[in-house]
């Protein structure tokens, strides 16, 4: 960890790893999509529409996983002053927001034929929506503060406050939902998932994770280089002609 | 302790002077309540069942209003630098700011709510639960809001950012506050929701003091 606190070491490692990660992600995605769309059996109740699950469920997992990564990176920056912590958290946020949006949109696409409505104020849908707002607030805070070092310090705090609050929000939305709706529309406790459906799901989940890791490295490199460029520019403007 | 009291008094006095926002939140709160029937129609049963949620949403939005004046002016005129140098821990500075904001904003809303709630035909037996729920919940709103104000201080046109940060974090308070009032109105027991609301405010007090103080410490170029 400490070795890669030096941005130079990190940049050279990231440069070597990125093509492998992105290549692996593409390969896994291709295999996963093939298995999910052509090999896996359709659900005996939901039919072909259940295939949205292979895109939807890993995205929903990632929406939580990425926020966890951001919180861990923020702790690394806050407690251990790791110089790449903020860069990692900032780079992860848009990816997390996109995964969350993907989970929401595919959920709606699945909900229309299954529930007969694009949107239901279901507990899980609602807390994912609020998670999406938290991502947006985090990204907006970074954008609003011009000076990167200051933006980084403020964003760290917001990320950790959000991390503490996510379980509270999730719990209260659950409580709100059971209070307002007697029965939930959809329950997961059907028969256990057969291996032919579980395999493509897990492959897709791994593909998403590897894709996220690859994109994270690309974005972190971009961010480090953008900061260097900014410093160079400021020095250039500050220097006497 | 004297520094704390002095800071508290200064903030309260400033919020009543010109440019301060003491009555702003309360006025906005009443305005939303009065406008609601014009939007929803005068039907009594509809307004009655919507009243707990409407009043709590109005309280949530009204507490947002004063927040831009809590930290921002201190950052602009250099008071914040003096506060950082003073012997008073920044956690207590945040607490003084929260108390001042709550006294001039949340408390006024708590007192006004039972008076304006009959506009929405809220049942009379629900009035004291409404006042109690706001009394328990609005300190939490002030805590989270002040932490958000500390985070977004120094941002040009930070109002929208502040709302974006604060509102998702305040959703639990809205849920439990509105459901406590709905419960008593429908003949149920509001105790559980009220206790959870109190718990939320206590959690907010801890998180927001620490986060707000950290933000004040680090919010400099």
**CB proximity B75 to A under 8 Å:** no
- Look at residue B129 in the predicted model and tell me its pLDDT: 94
Report how far residue B103's alpha carbon sits from residue B114's, in angstroms, rounded to the nearest whole number: 17
- Look at residue A36 in the predicted model and tell me its pLDDT: 86
Which residues of B fall within a CB distance of 8 Å from A144?
Answer: 152, 155-156, 158, 161
Nearest-CA distance from A5 to chain B in Å?
22
Give pLDDT tens digits for A171-195: 888 888 776 654 444 445 544 567 7
- Look at residue A183 in the predicted model and tell me its pLDDT: 42
Nearest CB among B155, B172, B219 relative to A168 is that of B172
Specify the higher pLDDT residue, A116 or B117.
B117
Report how far residue A6's alpha carbon sits from residue A28's, in angstroms, rounded to the nearest whole number: 32
Give pLDDT tens digits for B72-129: 888 888 889 998 998 899 999 999 999 999 999 999 999 999 999 999 999 998 999 9
**CB proximity B61 to A under 8 Å:** no
For chain A, percent of residues with pLDDT exceeding 70: 91
Nearest CB among A140, A164, A173 relative to B207 is that of A164
- Look at residue A182 in the predicted model and tell me its pLDDT: 45
Report how far residue A149's alpha carbon sits from residue A86's, in angstroms, rounded to the nearest whole number: 9
Which residues of B fall within a CB distance of 8 Å from A130?
Answer: 168, 171
**CB proximity A168 to B under 8 Å:** yes
Contact between B169 and A164 using a beta-carbon 8 Å cutoff = no
Per domain, the residue ranges of chain B are: 2-220
- DSSP string of A64-113, one letter each residue: HHHHHHHHHHHHHHHHS--HHHHHHHHHHHHHHHHHHHHHHHHHHHHHHH
Per domain, the residue ranges of chain A are: 18-175+201-230
> What's the pTM value of the predicted model, to 2 decimals?
0.88
Q: Per-residue pLDDT for A98 more than 90? A: yes
Are B148 and B101 in contact, with CB atoms under 8 Å apart?
Answer: no
Q: What is the ipTM of this complex?
A: 0.87
Q: Residue B163: how many CA atoms within 13 Å on its side-chain side?
A: 9
Name which of A128-137, A205-214, B148-157 the model is least confident about: B148-157
**CB proximity B199 to A under 8 Å:** no
Q: Per-residue pLDDT for B19 more than 70? A: no
Are A223 and A89 in contact, with CB atoms under 8 Å apart?
Answer: no
Burial string for A6-23 (b: 16+ CB within 10 Å, else e) reads ebeebbeebeeebeebbe
- Look at residue A39 in the predicted model and tell me its pLDDT: 83
Contact between A161 and B154 using a beta-carbon 8 Å cutoff = no
**CB proximity B169 to A under 8 Å:** yes
**CB proximity B196 to A under 8 Å:** yes
Which residues of A fall within a CB distance of 8 Å from B195?
Answer: none
Nearest-CA distance from B220 to chain A in Å?
7
Query: Cβ neighbours of residue B19 under 8 Å, at least 6 residues apart?
Result: B69
């Amino acid at each position: 960890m400490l070795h890669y606190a030096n941005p130079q070491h990190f940049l050279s490692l990231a440069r070597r790893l990125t093509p492998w990660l992105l290549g692996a992600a593409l390969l896994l995605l291709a295999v996963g999509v093939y298995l999910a769309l052509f090999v896996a059996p359709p659900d005996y109740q939901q039919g072909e529409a259940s295939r949205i699950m292979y895109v939807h469920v890993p995205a929903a997992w990632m929406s939580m996983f990425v926020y966890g990564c951001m919180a861990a990176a923020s702790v690394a920056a806050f407690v251990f002053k790791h110089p790449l912590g903020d860069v990692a958290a900032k780079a992860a946020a848009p990816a997390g927001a996109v995964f969350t949006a993907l989970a929401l949109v595919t959920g709606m696409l699945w909900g229309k034929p299954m529930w007969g409505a694009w949107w239901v104020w279901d507990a899980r849908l609602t807390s994912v929506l609020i998670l999406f707002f938290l991502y947006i607030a985090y990204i907006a805070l970074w954008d609003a503060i011009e000076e990167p070092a200051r933006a980084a310090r403020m964003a760290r705090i917001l990320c950790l406050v959000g991390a503490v609050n996510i379980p509270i929000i999730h719990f209260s939305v659950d409580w709100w939902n059971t209070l307002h709706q007697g029965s939930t529309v959809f329950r997961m406790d059907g028969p256990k998932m057969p291996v032919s459906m579980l395999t493509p799901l897990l492959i897709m989940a791994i593909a998403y994770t590897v894709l996220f890791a690859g994109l994270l490295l690309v974005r972190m490199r971009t961010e480090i280089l953008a900061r260097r460029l900014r410093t160079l520019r400021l020095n250039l403007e500050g220097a006497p002609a | 302790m004297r520094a704390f009291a002095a800071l508290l008094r200064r903030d309260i006095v400033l919020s009543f002077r010109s440019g301060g926002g003491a009555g702003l939140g309360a006025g906005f709160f009443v305005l939303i309540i009065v406008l609601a029937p014009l939007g929803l129609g005068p039907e009594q049963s509809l307004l009655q069942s919507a009243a707990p949620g409407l009043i709590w949403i109005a309280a949530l939005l009204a507490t947002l209003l004063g927040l831009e004046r809590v930290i921002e002016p201190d950052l602009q005129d250099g008071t914040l630098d003096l506060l950082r140098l003073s012997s008073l821990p920044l956690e207590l500075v945040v607490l003084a700011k929260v108390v001042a904001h709550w006294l001039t904003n949340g408390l006024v809303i708590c007192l006004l709510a039972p008076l304006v709630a009959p506009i929405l035909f809220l049942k009379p037996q629900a009035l004291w639960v409404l006042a109690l729920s706001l009394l328990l919940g609005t300190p939490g709103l002030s805590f989270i809001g002040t932490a958000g104000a500390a985070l977004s201080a120094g941002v040009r046109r930070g109002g929208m950012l502040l709302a974006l940060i604060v509102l998702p974090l305040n959703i639990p308070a809205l849920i439990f506050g509105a459901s406590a009032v709905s419960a008593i109105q429908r003949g149920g027991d509001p105790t559980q929701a009220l206790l959870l609301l109190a718990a939320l405010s206590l959690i907010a007090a801890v998180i927001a003091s620490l986060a707000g103080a950290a933000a004040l410490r680090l919010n400099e170029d």
